[in-house]
A and B are shown apart, each in its own frame.
Chain A
Amino acid sequence: MIPRMTTTGSLRGYRYNLQRSTFTLNKSITTVMTGRAFNSFAEDPTAAAESFHLRRAYLRTSSQYDLNESTVRRFEVAYSSMESVEKVIDTDPESKGAAYYAIIRALNDPDASGRNALGQEITAHANDMVQFMNGRYGDNFIFSGADALNVPLTWAPKANPDYDADYVPADPDKLTEDDLKKMNQYLTSDGEPTDDEFKAGRTLCYRGVPVDSDDPSDLEKLDYLSRGEKKYVDIGLGYDMNGGKVESSSVYNIALQAVDFLGGYGQETRTVTLPAYTDEDGTRHPEQSYTFDDIPKNIVSITDEIGTILQRCSPENGAFASTEDEARFNALVDAFEESSFRVKDRFTELTTQAQFLKNNQKQLENNAYTINEQIQGIDYVDPAAAISDFIFAKYCYDTALKVGNSVLSESLMDYMNFA
């Protein structure tokens, strides 16, 4: 049996289909206007979730990019500081203005009369290096490791190792030399006990710890600060954790330890042999060997001590204050040369690190572009396809309107004639 199609039924069907047609048209208009492939999770939950994953990756990369940029700037400033230090410690004998140039001159007996002045110049170089290494990037000291709010390198009065705060002399009215050793807190640059902070010699400290100390507890601290302390940042190296610890390869350490960049810390033993010579009185002095077990490793300490020894030389003829001074001077010069190599090695490392950061910056930028392209591919429609869909929807809608206007209105009623 042919189904009976009624006027009411036709109207209902028409209304339903017109409604659908309008809905489709409206949807295609929204798509063209927004350019978006979906406007809610419900339209495409998988694509929406993927899109948000990518957007999250994009934002994270963007944040990592900012942080990397800041790190690059920090390393550039560090590079600049180290460049200045390198100039000071340049071991090219022809490099005028460098500490080594002055040291070579001080080594040279013909220039001996100038040793006091050279000593002052060399001391100034030591101060310069400290200043360079105490530079800041923004509000942070660059070479302070993880203690960027505090100045890394400081000069402290030279401590008297025999000082005993609780010591009470046997006869306060007759102080012996031993009493004075125990009662005075500091030592002068000549090694004499003193209680006057301003007369005291000086010691370079890194974050409050003397860098040329041989005290095991100081060395333990410096060991940790130099090698154990890290300050990691997430610059997109694949942050990962293992056993509650951050994988060091997945983050970047931005802690730059001044002590590490200045040839190290602690002391070493050096033996020097002074050649045989005949003095002005014609006395023949045989060759003499000296062994020092307290030669600092840190280039600033070395430089400073060289300056101090030179300033102790005779102002008249530049003679060393003692043969031991001369021997120690020679030992320090050797130490300076070796230490400067270590400084240069670290500088080279710093250069490599700076370059890595610059490369990472480019990598992050590329990542962001790639992610953005992926987002575009997921979130947005091809305009041509969207417009085609819209045109087709509009065509359907227009047709539906025409159908409503021309077909539904006519029935047998319109042709009846009872006249």
Chain B
Amino acid sequence: MGIGTFGSFTQARLAIYASQTGLTVTGNNISNVNTKGYTRQRLDQKSLYNAGADRYYSTTGVKVGQGVLCYGLSQLRDPYLDIQYRSKSAEVGAMDALLEGLDRIKGVLDEVGKGGEITEGKEFGILTAQFQEVYKALNKLTDQTGHNEYDVQVKSACTSLAEFLRKYSRGLEEQYNLTVGKFEENVDKVNTILTSIRNLNENIRQADIFGDDALEMRDQRNVLIDELSEYIKIDVSYSMEEIGVGAEVEKLTIKLDNANPDPAVHTDETVLIDGIYGSQLSIDAVLNKAAYKYMKPDGTLTNNPAQAETSPMKNPNFGKTPGVDTIDGKYPGPNAEYVKKNTDGTYVAATEADADRVPKENPDYDKSGKNDGLLYMKADGTPTAAYEEAAHDPNFSITVSELKDRNGRVLYTIGQPKKIEMTDEAEIKEAFETNGGMGTSEVDPATGIVTITTYIKELSDDIKRNSLWNKGSTTAYQYLTSGGSGTNDPQQADKIYLPNPNFGKATDKQDTKYPATGRYLEIEKDADGNPVFNADGTPKTTGKGTDEPADAWYPQKNGNYNPGDVGGYRYVLYDKWGTEPPEVKDPKNPTADELKAIAEYYTNDIDKARGEPTYYKQVYEKIPSTQVKLDDNDLYGRLQSQRELLTEAGEFTSQDTVNNIDENAATKRGIPYYQKSLDLLAHTFATEMNRINQGYLVTPNGQYIDPTGTEGETLTFTNPADPKETYTLNNKDSWADVPQWVKDGPLKGCKSVEEYLAKPRTGADGKPLVDENGKPILNGAFRGGNLFSNNGDTNSDDPPITAGNISISFAWSSGPMIVNSFVCPTGFSEPASSDSDNIIKNFTSFSYRSFEFRPDTVPYEGVENVRHDAMFTGKLEDMWLNMNTVLGHDQMIASKSLDNAYDSQVSIDTSRDSVSAVDFNDEAMNLMMYAKAYNAACRLMTTIDSVLDKLINNTGMTT
């Protein structure tokens, strides 16, 4: 087929269109060079070619294309680079958040370059220097023992140290709270992104259905996905989704990207976005245990009895004593432990296995109902109904909500249907006769899964045809079609209408037998919609007029119809198979019985002619999308790093956490690690200072001084059984070294020497002895007391002293308190006035002694089974240095990891840009190309115009 005369104009016009569109696309690319996430677009063109063969073959016919067609716009993206980018993005997010958090901890703890003028080179740190100030003050006290002002100097140094520890503790607390705020913000941010992606998915889907590429919306979605990938490591996939009538649209699915190293865990593949359905993340709240009635099998709480673990129903009368306790008559007697419900509503005894199952009750549930509905606990320990007011779960666990669309409808996944043949007669009868074959649906209250059952009656293909059937018979059919052939179906018959005789007549001239209005007389119809005839064979009217022909017709009857002619029946009824056809003596005048027998033997209903049907039920499940509580390591990215900053306690982690939540928890360190390390440091310092500042006076040989003596008398006992044998209590002997007669005598009832020493001394009359100030005299000469307490207003160290509460004790703040020495010179009952034995032996040793820092030393509420082995052995200041060194190393690693990840991300992003980004040189080339093409098309148009002008106006013309 050749091109038509004016076809070339179309060719030129299409070329102009294409070039112009090309310029528009190029313009759009240039315009969006700085638009974030913009993917360069390309005009898709193809040569227009009319396919198909010409009707007649022509040896001279040359098939030429008819121009250019623009069939679409496409984006240039490399999905593999997107995957790489997003994977790296999660790493960048994770390391960035970690480094940011560690930097903030560093801001509190790192003392490098602090504590002095830089030019002086005196940057001794703050806490490090203060430890030395304490040492210095103690050193002075060894020289100037007994002078109160030097005790005050030690106290001042210790006060500053306690203040610095509290300040650092407060600093860490502030960073913790700040990180909580940031974590909450980021969870909100992720939720906003998820919502935006879900909404964009819906818009893109809509556009897809209408054939729009929605490229800009895809760009917008890609930017959001990139952004999301920084917070959470995700797996993005695209698939085609059927939308009916054979059409398909693209569906985007975003899942968590299998970040959990435990292969048995699958919650790390939770779907976040499924096409137009999206989920939201929430931080678990602390639950109010008193508001939940039942317990699930996994030990969690629920108010849904269907989800609860069940247990055999107990008899409330079990174990009761008749006559003493109230016996509930609804239940059996006290001997039956378990019960089951009888048909009459009462309960009878049952075995444990037979007993009714009842939901397991939550023992903490407040049965008064006052806590009902108040599902959460606030940070101050009061219950609340609002999740927003609730305190966060200490593990900051994340739960992914069910997938919902924009209107809040939950996504249901439809399972594969199972087709089951029904054999139970009763079941078949109920399904097909009682319920008329209607399908059923049932919702599982525990899981929300909807089970849908549909019933199928599958007819047999076994049919017995009437051998006498005569399609062309003129007597076997009740009606005649418009073509004159016979039919038994009134609908197939020629339609005849009954006109209304009153139609068009004046009212006074109308026949009252007929309706006043309507073109036709309305015909009555049976249940199948077929007209009903009177006994005389005339159509039965309703007495109403109508303008609708559909309500006014009746079938053309066959005047030759003979009901005795069985040639009008196609089939033999199924239940008459194997029986002889009815006999009609005179087919032209059949009797009523013969006609009845015919009607019961033959049929035109194919279904009634079939063999035995098969009954099936088809069962399938609609599984609702459900909440997923994520495992501790399911996430990776910014969010997870912040979570770990808030939860990870390194060596302070409970073994239960290692066993049940995260096996690597003991090696991960977040803010709690540094808080607890600081607590341990402060606790060890304060506890040791308190310990060494109290004790009982002894002689130089370690024998305990009798507090009632004045000349260095000791606590010496004489064996009543052998007056020559004496024993003096001393601090060198262990409890095992104390002779039995002493344990059975003066130390009776005591389990250690210290216990005896701490007991009040009683006189011969058995009354407690008191000193001149009325204070009880103890068995030992006690000196000293707590230098530090958990509160400056008391001397108490219970609850334990931590960095957050360490204070100079009330007693020390009230006056000198340091015990210089417990050693009394021989023959004296008090230590020498400037003896510094205790200071040099115990206090000074603080700077030299190694301590074993054990993570379980400071007890924390709700944290059990913490490692006892020392996490660090060294001096107090070394522990402080160790904290900073650990922090420094963690920071260094995070910094290098971030550097590498960011470097790789930039590199991948540049590679991605090499595919997707706009380049001015490219676009300049396109500009030139399309401009030249436009010019050429115009030239083509001019040329065609010129040649046609010659053809039309100048060919064959004579002048």
A4 part of interface (Cβ distance < 8 Å)? yes
- Which parts of A192-233 form the interface with B (CB within 8 Å)? 207, 209, 217-218, 220-221, 223-225, 228-233
Given known pairs A48-B885, A241-B841, the reply for A40 and B913 (CB within 8 Å) is no
Given A42-B887, A56-B132, verify A375-B848 contact (CB < 8 Å): no
B906 near A41: Cβ-Cβ < 8 Å: no
Is the beta-carbon distance between A232 and B840 smaller than 8 angstroms? yes
The distance in angstroms between the C-alpha atoms of A149 and B142, with both chains bound, is 13
Let me know if B132 and A63 touch, CB within 8 A.
yes
Instruction: Please determine whether B877 and A56 come into contact, CB atoms closer than 8 angstroms.
Output: yes
**Contact of A52 with B840 in the complex, beta carbons under 8 Å:** no
For residue B282, give the distance in angstroms from its CB to the closest CB of chain A: 34
Instruction: Determine whether A285 belongs to the interface, using a CB cutoff of 8 Å to chain B.
Output: no
Q: B828: which A residues are within 8 A, CB to CB?
A: 221
Render A25-52 as a binary contact track against B, CB cut-off 8 A, 1 for contact: 0000000001110111111111011011
B133 to A: closest C-beta gap in Å: 8
A395 → chain B, closest Cβ, in Å?
Answer: 22
Out of A8, A9, A44, A140, name the residue touching B144 (CB < 8 Å): A140
Q: How many Å from the CB of B232 to the closest CB on chain A?
A: 24
Give the residue name and chain of the A residue nearest to B831 (CB).
A146
A231 with B834: CB separation less than 8 A: yes
Q: How far is the CB of B405 from chain A (nearest CB, A)?
A: 35
Q: How far is the CB of A250 from chain B (nearest CB, A)?
A: 9
Q: What is the 8 Å Cβ interface bit string for chain B, positions 802-839, against chain A (1 contact, 0 not)?
A: 00000000000000000001000111100111111100
Please pick, from B118, B833, B849, the residue contacting A34 in the complex, using a CB distance under 8 A: B118
- Measured between beta carbons, the chain A residues less than 8 angstroms from B848 are 239-241
Chain A residues, Cβ within 8 Å of B128: 52, 55-56
Distance in angstroms between the alpha carbons of A207 and B831 in the assembled complex: 12
B106 at the interface (CB under 8 A from A): yes
Chain A 53-84 residues near chain B, CB threshold 8 A? 53, 55-56, 58-60, 62-64, 66-67, 70-71
| Cβ contacts under 8 Å, B921 to chain A | 7, 411-413
Chain A residues with CB under 8 A of B881: 49, 52-53
- B912-929 residues at the A interface, CB under 8 angstroms: 913-915, 917-925, 927-928
CA distance A66 to B833 in the complex (A): 23
Which among A62, A412, A413 has the greatest number of chain B C-beta atoms within 10 A? Answer: A412
- Closest B residue to A245 by beta carbon equals B841
Task: Answer whether A42 and B910 are a contact pair too, CB < 8 Å, given A6-B922, A52-B125.
Answer: no
B884, A49: Cβ atoms under 8 Å?
Answer: yes
A251–B844 alpha-carbon span in the complex (Å):
11
Contact status A60-B135, CB under 8 Å: yes
Q: How far is the CA of A89 from the CA of B452 in the complex (A)?
A: 121
| Chain A residues within an 8 Å CB radius of B834 | 140, 144, 146-149, 231
Beta-carbon contact of A40 and B836 below 8 Å? no
B783 to chain A, nearest CB (A): 16
Of B825, B828, B909, the most chain A CB neighbours within 10 A belong to B825
A63 touches B919 (CB 8 A): no
Distance between Cα atoms of A63 and B111 in the complex (Å): 21
| CA distance in complex: A36, B122 (Å) | 12
Residue of A nearest to B915 (CB): A4
* Per-residue A-contact encoding for B455-488, CB less than 8 Å = 1, 0 else: 0000000000000000000000000000000000
What A residues does B911 contact at CB under 8 A? 3
Residues of B within 8 A of A58 (CB): 124
Q: State A376–B118 Cα separation when bound (angstroms).
A: 12
Looking at chain B, what size class is its interface with the partner chain? 35 or more
The answer on a CB contact under 8 Å between B110 and A416 is no
Interface flags, A379-419, vs B, CB<8A=1, else 0: 11000000000000000000000000000000111001010
A59 and B906 within 8 A (CB): no
A372–B124 alpha-carbon span in the complex (Å)? 12
Chain A positions within 8 Å of B928 at CB level: 416
By a CB distance below 8 angstroms, the chain A residues around B841 are: 241, 244-246
- CB of B500 within 8 Å of the partner chain: no
Quick check: is B948 within 8 A (CB to CB) of the other chain?
A: no
Known: A42-B106, A413-B920. A228 touches B700 (CB 8 A): yes
Q: In the complex, what's the smallest C-beta–C-beta distance from B29 to chain A, in angstroms?
A: 10
Q: Given the complex, which residues of A lie within 8 Å of B845, measured CB to CB?
A: 239, 241, 246
Residue of B nearest to A231 (CB): B836
User: In whole angstroms, what is the CA distance A9 to B912 when docked?
Assistant: 8
| C-alpha spacing A148/B125, complex, angstroms | 36
Min distance, Cβ B647 to any Cβ of chain A, angstroms: 22
Give the complex CA separation of A244 and B135 in angstroms.
19
Does B113 lie within 8 Å of A34, measured CB to CB? yes
Picked from A6, A51, A224, A413, the residue with its CB within 8 Å of the CB of B700 is A224
C-alpha spacing A113/B891, complex, angstroms: 94
B residues in contact with A380, CB < 8 Å: 121
B140 surroundings in chain A (CB, below 8 A)? 66-67
A44 CA to B837 CA, complexed, in Å: 41
B100-123: CB near A (< 8 Å → 1, else 0) gives 001000100011110000100101
Which B residues, 889 to 914, have Cβ-Cβ distances below 8 Å to chain A? 889, 891-892, 895, 906, 909-911, 913-914
When the two chains form their complex, are residues B919 and A6 in contact, meaning their CB atoms are under 8 A apart? Answer: yes
> A221, B827: Cβ atoms under 8 Å?
yes
Contact assessment for B827 and A42 in the assembled complex, using a CB-CB cutoff below 8 Å: no
Instruction: Tell me if A114 counts as interface (CB < 8 A to partner B).
Output: no
| CB within 8 Å for A41 and B836 given contacts A232-B142, A234-B844, A245-B841 | no
Q: Which residue of A lies closest to B914 (CB)?
A: A4
Rounded to whole angstroms, the CA-CA distance of A254 and B135 in the bound complex is 19
Query: What chain A residues lie within 8 Å of B13 (beta carbons)?
Result: none
Whether a CB of chain B sits under 8 angstroms from the CB of A16 is yes
* A5 at the binding interface (Cβ < 8 Å): yes
Q: Which residue of B lies closest to A239 (CB)?
A: B848
Inter-chain contact B917/A6, CB cutoff 8 Å: yes
Residue of B nearest to A55 (CB): B124
Tell me if B910 and A13 are in contact (CB < 8 A): yes
Interface residue ranges of B758-788 to A (CB < 8 Å) = none
A45: contacting residue among B142, B885, B910, B924, CB under 8 A? B885
Cβ of B715 to closest chain A Cβ, rounded Å = 18
Q: List the 6 shortest-distance A-B pairs measured between CB atoms, nearest first.
A: A41-B888, A9-B913, A42-B891, A8-B917, A45-B888, A411-B920
Known A-B contacts: A9-B910, A55-B125, A229-B835. Give 15 more (CB < 8 A).
A4-B915, A8-B918, A16-B906, A41-B888, A42-B889, A59-B132, A66-B136, A149-B146, A209-B827, A229-B832, A232-B840, A251-B840, A411-B921, A413-B921, A413-B923
A selection of 21 A-B contacts at a CB cut-off of 8 Å is A3-B911, A4-B914, A5-B919, A7-B33, A7-B919, A7-B921, A8-B918, A48-B885, A55-B125, A55-B128, A55-B129, A58-B124, A60-B135, A63-B139, A138-B144, A146-B833, A147-B834, A149-B834, A239-B844, A411-B924, A413-B921
